[in-house]
Structure 1
Amino acid sequence: MNRKANFFFILYFPLFVNTVKAQQLYFPDTGWLVKNPAEVGMNKIFLDSAVSFAIKNENSVEYDLRIANIKAYAKEPDYKILGPMKQRGGPAGVVIKNGFIVAQWGDVNRVDMTFSVTKSFLSAVTGLAIDNGLIKNVNDPVNDYVKDDTYDGPHNSKVKWQHLLTQTSDWSGCQFGICDWADRPPKEGNIDDWKNRKLLEPGSQFEYNDVRVNLLAYSLLQVWRQALPVVLKNKIMDPIGASTTWRWHGYDNAFVNMDGLMMQSVSGGGHHGGGIFINTMDMARFGLLFLRNGKWKNQQLLSPKWIHEGRQPSAANKSYGYLWWTNSENKWKDVPASTYYAAGFGGNFIIIDDEHDLLVVTRWIDDKKIGEFMALVNKSIEKK
Structure 2
Amino acid sequence: MLDIAKLVRQMPEIGQQMQKDAQAGLKRLEIAQKLFLQANQEQDKLIQAQEIWGDRMIFTPGIPIESLDTAIEIPEAPSSHSVFSSDGSQIAPSHHEIIYCYLINIGRIMLHYGQNLHPLLDSIPEIYYKTEDLYSAKKWGIRTEEWMGYHRTMKEVQILTEMACTWVNPPGAHFNIPNLAMTDGSLTYWFLDTLPTDAKEEILNPIIESLQQLQASKIPIVGYISASRSIDAISFLRLMACPYEVPHCTNFCSMDNEKNPCQKMEPLRDTSLWQQILQPRQRSAIFRSNSRILDCYPESQKTHFCYLHGGAEVARVEFPQWVAEDSELLNQALSITLTQIDKGFGYPVALAEAHNLAVVKGGDRTQFFSLIEEQMLRYGVKNVAVSYKEARKRGSIA
- Superposition TM-score tier, normalisation by shorter sequence: under 0.3
Higher helix proportion: 2
In terms of Rg, which structure is larger?
2
Q: TM-score, normalised by structure 1?
A: 0.26
